[in-house]
Amino acid sequence: MQKERILVVDDDKNICDLLRMYLEKEGYSVILAHNGVDAVSIFSAENPDLVLLDIMLPQLDGWQVCREIRKTSEKPIIMLTAKDETFDKVLGLELGADDYVTKPFDTKEIVARIKAVLRRTSSAKGEELKEVHYDKLSINLSNYEMKVNGVAVDTPPKELELIYHLASNPDRVFTRDQLLDDVWGFDYYGDSRTVDVHIKRLRDKLKGVSDEWELRTIWSVGYKFETHGKNK
Residue pair 196/120 in contact by the 8 Å Cβ criterion: no
pLDDT at 1 over 50: no
The gap between the terminal CA atoms of the chain, to the nearest Å, is 43
Res 83: pLDDT: 61
Indicate the domain borders of the chain.
5-125, 131-227
pLDDT tens figures, 39-60:
999 999 999 999 999 988 999 9
- pLDDT confidence of 84, banded at 50, 70, 90? low
Distance CA 232, CA 207 (A): 19
What is the CATH number assigned to the segment(s) 131-227?
Answer: 1.10.10.10
pLDDT at 64 over 80: yes
pLDDT at 85 over 70: no
- In terms of phi and psi (left: phi > 0; alpha: psi -120 to 50; beta: otherwise), the region of 84 is alpha
Highest mean predicted confidence (pLDDT) among 75-84, 118-127, 213-222: 213-222
State residue 99 phi and psi, 5-degree precision. Answer: -160, 175
Identify which has the larger pLDDT, 73 or 125: 73
- Tell me the pairing of strands 151-153 and 145-148: antiparallel
CA atoms within 13 A on the CB side of 205: 21
Q: Topology of 5-125 in CATH?
A: Rossmann fold (3.40.50)
Mean pLDDT value of segment 197-210: 93
Confirm whether 5-125 and 131-227 share one CATH topology.
no
Beta strand ranges found along 50-157 (DSSP E): 50-54, 77-81, 99-102, 131-134, 137-140, 145-148, 151-153
